[in-house]
Structure 1
Amino acid sequence: MKTLLKAALLAATAATPVSVYAQETGQEAAEEDPNVIIVTARKTAESINDAPVAVTAFTSESLDEQNLRDVNDIATLTPGLSFSQAFGRGTDRPVIRGLGNVLAGVQFGVESGASVFIDGALFRGDIQSINFDALERVEVVKGSQSALYGRNTYSGAINFITKNPGDEFGGQVRGRIAEFGEYEVTGSLDLPIVPGVLAARVDGRYYNYEGEFTNQISGRQDVGGEETKSISGTLFYTPTDDFDFRIRVGYQKDRDEEFPRTLQFASENNCEPGFRSVRFRNFGPRGQNDNENQYFCGVLRPDPDNIFLNSDEPGIFNGGPSLDSTTPGLAGISGISLERWTLNSKMNWDIGGSGWVLSTVTGYRHDETFTGFDSDHSNLNLFFGPPSVSEAFFSSTNRRIFEDFSIEAKIFSPEDQPIRGLLGVYYYDFRRKQFDITKQSGRAGTDFFRDNDNQIETIENKSIFGRIEADLGETVTIGVEGRYLDEEKGFLEINGATATTDGDLFETPPFKTTDFVPRVTVDWQPNPDTLVYAIYTEGNKPGGLNGSIGAANGLPTYEDETLRGGELGIKKTWLGGQLQTNLSLFYNEIKNVQLTQPVLTTPGAGTATTSIASNQGDAEVKGFELEVIMRPVQQFTVTATAAYTDAKFTRGCDEFEYTLNSGGLNSRSV
C-alpha cells in the first residue's frame, strides 16, 4: 500500500488574479469575462467549471504570479500529480493518481501512465527544460483519458499550450537570479505582419545552473549543473473568421553535467530484512556491511562528501601497478547533451460557417542526445583492457537519436445543438536509435553491427475515436466516448559483436496491441454555481518487449496494463465567486500490473543482474483530490490542495516481494 498526502498553500501577489468561477461555456464566457479560464481538456473549448472532468489549469498570468518555472512547480500545486526524475533532466516520470512504473524512461518501451502533449500533439521527450514564459496555459487532466487523448494516457494527460502571436507590435524581457549560479533570461517579440490576418512571434530562453555538489576527485563544484538555450518561432494565419492555421518551429540545446549520486552501503538500510541483503549473501566486509535489512525507509539524500566521478579525469588503473595519467574514463562524453528540433501545426476550419469544424493537429520531434556516466562511485577508474581502447568499469557512454511524428484529424458537429459529437483519426510513428560510444568510435558511435549496446526501437499507433453528447433537459448531459487502437512495438539489438566482427541481429517478434477503450460521463448542473458529474472509464497502457535478456529469462514480452474505473466529482462556487471548491473521488481496478523484475543478464553464468518489465498481478487504486480557491478580495487569492491515494495488490505480488521480505527462496502469490 502506498499513501500520498500532499498539501500546498499559496498567496498570490497583488496583481489581479485569474478567476476560475464563471460558469458560461467557451467563447461566450471569455467574451463576458476575460478572466475566465477556458480549457480544452475534452478536445473542445469550455469553461473549466463546466468541464465534467478533474482538471487543474494554470494560465500564463497565474504562472507569472505564482512564479511557477518548471513542471516540478506544477506538480506541487496539482492534487494527484507527482513528478520525479531518475537521471537528471534526461528521464521524466509524471505520475497521476499513483499509476506509474519505476522503469519508465529508463528501459526501452516502458512508459509512465501519463503522457505529455504540446499544443495537443503527443510529446514523448523530456519536458523539464520547456520555456514557461512561452506558455499560454498548462492543463493537467486526471483520470483515464485513453478514449480521447489516445496512447498511454490511462492515468491522465498534461498539455502545454503555447502562446499565439499578439495583434500589436511589442515584446518583453525577463530575468531571474538565484544561488548556486542559477540565472535565467527569457524574451519574446510579437510581430503583426498583416493586421488581423498574419502575425508572428519569437520566443527565446537562456538558463544556467552551476550545481551545488562537489566532485571529490576534481574538487570542482560542477555536479548537477544544467544549461539550456532555446528559440522558437510561431506564425498565426487567420484570413477569415471561419479559418485559422498555426505553425510553430522550435530549436533547443541542453548541456547538463552529471547528476549527483552517491553509493549507500547496506549497513545504512533500516527496514525490511530479506534474503538478498548483504548479511545473508556474504558480500562486502562483514565489519562494515553486516546489516540484515534489505531496504531503506525514509528520504535518501546525496552525501556531499561521497560523490566520486571520473568522467573526465585522468588517473586510470590499467590492470597492473602503473597509472595512466592521460586517458579520461568516459570517451570524452560526460553528463547529458541534447539537441532538439520540433514542429507543431494546428488548423481549424468552420466549413462554410455551418458550425461543422474540421481540425487537425500535427507534431514532429527530432532529438539527438549524448550521455556519459561514471557509476562505480570510487576515485579510481578500473579498466579490463588497454584504456586507449576500452571504457572504464561501470561507465556508460552512448548516442541516441529520437524521431517521432503524429497527426490527428477531427470533425466536430455544431456545438449549439442538443445532440453533438466529434469523430477523429490518429496516427503516431516513433523511432529510437542507440549507438555505443567508445574511445575509438568518437561521438558518432560504433558501427551498428559492431557493438552489443546498439539498438533500434519503433512504435506505430493507429486509432479511430469519437464522442457523442446529448442534453437530457436543461440540466443533465450524457456523453459517450470511445477509441479503437492498433499499436505495434518493435525492438532490434545486436548480440555477439566485437570491435572487428559483426554481431547477430536479435529481433523479438513485434508486440501488437489492439483494444477498445470507452468512457461514459453523466453531468448534472442544477444551477450556474454547481456541477456534479459521474464517470465510468477504461484505459490501456501498452505492453512491450524485453529484448534478448528477457527472452533468455523466459520473459520476452510483457502484456498491456488495463484499467477500469469510475469517478464522482462536484465543482461548487460559493459566496458569489469568492470561494470555489472542487472535489473528485475515484476508484480504479488494474489488471496485469507492469512491475520491475530483476533478472540475471546471463542466466546460469555469473551474478550480474539487470531489470526488465513483467506483469505480476492485479491491483486497486482509490482516493480523492480536493482544491479550495479563496478570493476574499479581488487582489488576493489563496489556493489549498490535497490528494490521497490508496493503492494495493488484489491478486499476486512482486516476483521477489516474498523472497526479499521473508528470507525465503521462492516467490508466492496471495
Structure 2
Amino acid sequence: MTRSSPLSTALLLAAASPLALTAPALAQSRGPVEEIVVTARQRDEAAQSTPVSLAVFTAAEIERAQIESIAGIATRAPGLVVSDPFGRFNPAPAIRGLTQPGVGEEPSVGFFLDGVYISGRSSINLFLDDLERVEVLKGPQNALFGRNSFGGAVNLVTRKPGDTVEGFIEGGIGTKDRRELSVGVSAPLIPGKLAARASFALDEYGGFYSNPVPGGPDIGSERSVAGALTLRATPTDSLEAVLRVSYAEDDDGQPKGWYLATNCEPRLVNGQPSGSLSQFCGEIPDGVPASMAANAEHFGFARDAWRTAATINYRLPLATLTSISAFNAETNEFNRDNDYSPALISQAGQLTDRWDASQEFRLLGGEGGPLTWVAGASWYRFDNETERRNIEFWSGQTATAGLPRTNEETDSLAAYGSVTWQVLPDVGLTADLRWQRDWKEFQTTSLDRNGNPIALDNAWTMWTPRFVADWQATEDVLLYASVAKGAKSGGFSTMANLFEEERSFDPETNWTYEVGAKTTWLDGRLTANGALFWIDWTDQQVVAASTAGTNNNFYTNNAARSRSRGFELEIAAVPADGLDLRLAYSYVDAEFRDYQDPDYRDIPSFAPDGDISGLALPRQSKHQLVASGQYSADLPVAAGLGWFLGGEWLWQSKQYTENSNLSWIPADGKLNAWTGLEHQGLRLTLRVQNLLDDRSPPVAVRFSEPTAAGYRRAWLVTPGDGRTWTVQARWSF
C-alpha cells in the first residue's frame, strides 16, 4: 500500500479542505471563535481564562469528527497517545510521553465521566455517545482530580436535559458492514422543575478482513449498544440535582494482529551469541499476512457495564456545595486466539467482575471576588475479581479448570483544597494541595515459588501540590506559569517465581514545570495558545525479570528515572462567515535518564549492564499534528438549503515499539473528508475515513508467540485499517 508523506498529505488536504475555497477576507469576518466553558479547576471557567494546557471538543466537534472512543480523542488531541494492541481490552493511554509498562488496572491518565473516575484499564475504552464536551487536561491533575491522573486527565461530560423539547435521530451505513444509529431526546416533565433526557446508540463495524477459518470469529469487528436516562431536578433556584443511569454492552470479534519474527540481537550465553534472536530491528512493515487467522475456539471481547451517578449542587449564602455519589458495575470477558493461526495452539483470556463506589463533597466559594477557594473530600472503593482463561493446547491443556482466580481491593480517602488570590486585578496566584491515602489488598489462588498462597496488602500516602501564577497582560492575553506534582499509586507483582521483597512496588512521581500563553485576536475570530513543559519523572515503575525463576518471574519495581520536555500549540480561527479552521501540534521529547533494563544485559548492543539511558520512551510520537477545517454556505437553488465541505489531517511521527529503540512503527498520516447538505434540521453527510488508504500499523509490542513446541520471542503487530466510506442522515429538533 502507498504510505502518505506529511508533505503530500498537506497538499491534498489543502486541495480538498476549506483552505482552498474562495472565501471573504479575514477582515470581513463577523463570527468569533466559540467561547467554551470548562471545569478544569472544579469550577466553571472560560477555557481561554483557565491557566491550564488543555484541548476541548464541543458537541458539534465531537459529532463532526465522529469521535466514539478514547482512541478517537487521542488522534485529535496532540500529546495524548492511546496504544490498543488487543482491541478495546487493556488500552495504554499516556500524555506528554509518560508511557507505562502496562502494569495493573490503573493507567497513568485519569478518565472521568461527569466527574466520576472510571475504574479499571479495560473499562476506560468505553463507547462514547451523547457527549456535551470532552476536556483533555495536560500535565498532572492529581491535586484536584486525584486517582492516578499522573500525566493528565480526560473529563467526559454528557448532555443534560433542559426546559425545552429537543433531540436528534441519526443513522448511517458504510463499507465494511458499518451500521450506526443514535437517538437523544430531552423534555421537561414539570416545566422549570424537572426534566429528563433519554439516549440510545448502536454502532457496528465488521472489521477490515475476514477470518479464513470456517466458523471462526470475525476479526477486528466491534459492536456496541448503549443507553442512558438522565433526570435533572431544579426544585428551587438554589438547588440542582442530576441523576444519570447508563448501560452499555460491547461484543467484539477476535482482535486484529499478527506475529513478526525477530531478526537481530542474538542472546549471549557465556558472552557468546546463541541461536536465539531477541529483537526485531528496523521499521515494522504494514499489511496483513495471508496466514493471519483465528481458530473457532476463540471469540474476542464482551462487556456489559452499568454506571450510576447522582450530582447535587446547592448554593449556600457563601459557597456552593457539590455532592457526587456514584456506583458502577461491569463484567467483561476477553478471549483471543493467542497464536493468530488456524491451528489450536494457545488461547489467552480473562474473565473480570468489578464494581466501584465513590462519594465526593466539594465546597466552592468566593467566585468573582479577590479570593476564590475550593475544599473537598472523597472516598473511593474498587473491587476487582479476575479469572484467567488461558489454555495452552500445545502443552496438552484443554480446559480452564484450576486456572488462577484473583481479587484486588482498593480503598482510598482524599482531602484537597485550592485557593486563588487575585493579588492585583490582572495577577492571580493559585495553590492546590491534595492528600490521598490508598489501601490495597490482593489475594489469588496461585502459589508462590515455595508453594504458599499469595496474599498481599500495603498502603501508600501521596501529597500532590500544584502552584500557578497567571497574568492577564491584556484583555486578550493570558500568561501563566505552573509547577505541579503528579503521583500514580503503588501496587503488587503477583507472578509465582518472585522474592518476597519484589512483590510490592511504590508510587511513582513526577514534577512538571510549565509556562503558557492563551491569546485572542481580531475581535475573537482567532485564538492562539501555546505551552512549554519540562517533566522530571522519578521512582518510575518498570518491569524486570526476577532471578527467583526462569519463567513466571516478571515484576514491577521503581528502578528508572526519565525526563520529558516539549511544547504544544493550538490555533482556532473563523476567518469568514461559515469558515472554521483548527490547528493543533505537540512536540514531545521523552527519554530515559537513568535506567539499566535487565532484559537487555545479555544482548550485544546493551551488554553487560543493559543501560538504556538516553533512549526514547516507547509508544509515543515526538510530533503530532492535527489540521482541520469546514466551510458552510447557503445554496441559492432553494431557501434554507445549505451545504458544507470539511476535512482533517491527523499525523504523527514514528514510535519506538520498546525500550531498545531498535524497531519502530512508521509515521502515520490519515486524511478524512466529508461533505453534505442541510435543510431545516435535516442533514445528509457523505464521509470518507483514511482517504489516502494509509495502512501504517498503529501499534506493535514485544510479545511471545505460542508455537506447537512452546513460546518464542516475536513482535505482535496491529495492522492499520484502510479507506472506509459512510453515508449518514441526521434530524435535529
TM-score > 0.5 by shorter chain: yes
Looking at structure 1, the residues matched to 559 and 288 of structure 2 have their Cα atoms a distance apart, in angstroms, of 35
The answer on whether the counterparts of 2:600 and 2:606 sit within 8 Å (CA) in structure 1 is no
The answer on whether the counterparts of 1:550 and 1:557 sit within 8 Å (CA) in structure 2 is no
Counterpart position of 1:18: none
Structure 2 length as normaliser, TM-score?
0.74
Shift of the alpha carbon at 1:599? 4.9
Counterpart position of 1:118: 113
When the two chains are superposed, the root-mean-square deviation of aligned CA atoms in Å is 3.0
Q: Larger deviation: 400-409 or 41-50?
A: 400-409
Counterpart position of 1:310: 295
Q: Which has the higher strand share?
A: 2
Q: Deviations over 1:91-144 (max 9, x none)?
A: 22221101121314xxx34x3221100001101243434233x10100000011
Q: In the alignment, is residue 422 of structure 1 matched against residue 374 of structure 2?
A: yes
Counterpart position of 1:444: none
Counterpart position of 2:563: 620
Q: How does 1:22-171 map to 2 (within 5 A)?
A: 35-104=34-103, 108-109=104-105, 111-125=106-120, 126-132=123-129, 134-171=130-167
- Alpha-carbon distance change, 202 to 492 in structure 1, aligned in 2, over 3 angstroms: same
Shift of the alpha carbon at 1:379? 3.0
Counterpart position of 2:336: 373
DSSP 3-state at the match of 1:309 = coil
Choose from 206, 214, 224 the match for 1:210: 206
Could you tell me the percent identity over the aligned residues? 27
Shift of the alpha carbon at 1:335? 0.9
DSSP 3-state at the match of 1:73 = helix
DSSP 3-state at the match of 1:149 = coil
Shift of the alpha carbon at 1:240? 1.3
Shift of the alpha carbon at 1:252? 1.1
- Alpha-carbon distance change, 158 to 660 in structure 1, aligned in 2, over 3 angstroms: farther
Looking at structure 1, the residues matched to 220 and 142 of structure 2 have their Cα atoms a distance apart, in angstroms, of 36
Shift of the alpha carbon at 1:531? 0.2
Looking at structure 1, the residues matched to 406 and 209 of structure 2 have their Cα atoms a distance apart, in angstroms, of 33
Looking at structure 2, the residues matched to 256 and 72 of structure 1 have their Cα atoms a distance apart, in angstroms, of 16
Looking at structure 1, the residues matched to 601 and 305 of structure 2 have their Cα atoms a distance apart, in angstroms, of 44
- Alpha-carbon distance change, 170 to 515 in structure 1, aligned in 2, over 3 angstroms: closer
Choose from 399, 405, 426 the match for 1:475: 426
Supply the AA of the counterpart residue of 2:113.
I
Shift of the alpha carbon at 1:347? 0.8
The answer on whether the counterparts of 1:116 and 1:123 sit within 8 Å (CA) in structure 2 is yes
Counterpart position of 2:443: 492
The answer on whether the counterparts of 1:586 and 1:622 sit within 8 Å (CA) in structure 2 is yes
Shift of the alpha carbon at 1:580? 1.2
The answer on whether the counterparts of 1:570 and 1:584 sit within 8 Å (CA) in structure 2 is yes
Counterpart position of 1:656: 599
- Alpha-carbon distance change, 425 to 13 in structure 1, aligned in 2, over 3 angstroms: farther
Shift of the alpha carbon at 1:452? 4.0
Q: Larger deviation: 627-636 or 234-243?
A: 627-636
Looking at structure 2, the residues matched to 69 and 101 of structure 1 have their Cα atoms a distance apart, in angstroms, of 24
Q: In the alignment, is residue 400 of structure 1 matched against residue 349 of structure 2?
A: no
- Alpha-carbon distance change, 273 to 355 in structure 1, aligned in 2, over 3 angstroms: farther
Q: In the alignment, is residue 348 of structure 1 matched against residue 313 of structure 2?
A: yes
Looking at structure 2, the residues matched to 229 and 432 of structure 1 have their Cα atoms a distance apart, in angstroms, of 24
- Alpha-carbon distance change, 145 to 336 in structure 1, aligned in 2, over 3 angstroms: same
Looking at structure 2, the residues matched to 303 and 375 of structure 1 have their Cα atoms a distance apart, in angstroms, of 17
Shift of the alpha carbon at 1:213? 2.2
Choose from 298, 304, 307 the match for 2:283: 298
Looking at structure 2, the residues matched to 311 and 221 of structure 1 have their Cα atoms a distance apart, in angstroms, of 6
- Alpha-carbon distance change, 199 to 669 in structure 1, aligned in 2, over 3 angstroms: closer
DSSP 3-state at the match of 1:597 = strand
The answer on whether the counterparts of 2:32 and 2:523 sit within 8 Å (CA) in structure 1 is no
Shift of the alpha carbon at 1:628? 1.4
- Alpha-carbon distance change, 563 to 394 in structure 1, aligned in 2, over 3 angstroms: same
Q: How does 1:265-304 map to 2 (within 5 A)?
A: 265-267=261-263, 275=268, 280-283=273-276, 294-299=279-284, 301=286, 303-304=288-289
Shift of the alpha carbon at 1:656? 2.6
Shift of the alpha carbon at 1:557? 1.6
Shift of the alpha carbon at 1:610? 6.2
DSSP 3-state at the match of 1:662 = coil
- Alpha-carbon distance change, 130 to 377 in structure 1, aligned in 2, over 3 angstroms: closer
Q: Larger deviation: 369-378 or 32-41?
A: 32-41
Shift of the alpha carbon at 1:651? 2.3
Counterpart position of 1:580: 527
DSSP 3-state at the match of 1:63 = helix
The answer on whether the counterparts of 2:466 and 2:484 sit within 8 Å (CA) in structure 1 is yes
Shift of the alpha carbon at 1:174? 0.5
5+ long unaligned stretches in structure 2? 1-5, 21-30, 392-398, 614-733
Supply the AA of the counterpart residue of 1:414.
G
Counterpart position of 1:29: none
Supply the AA of the counterpart residue of 2:557.
S
Shift of the alpha carbon at 1:371? 2.0
Looking at structure 2, the residues matched to 218 and 282 of structure 1 have their Cα atoms a distance apart, in angstroms, of 37
Q: 1 or 2 for the larger relative contact order (CA 8 Å, sep ≥6)?
A: 2
Looking at structure 2, the residues matched to 214 and 586 of structure 1 have their Cα atoms a distance apart, in angstroms, of 45
The answer on whether the counterparts of 2:512 and 2:534 sit within 8 Å (CA) in structure 1 is yes
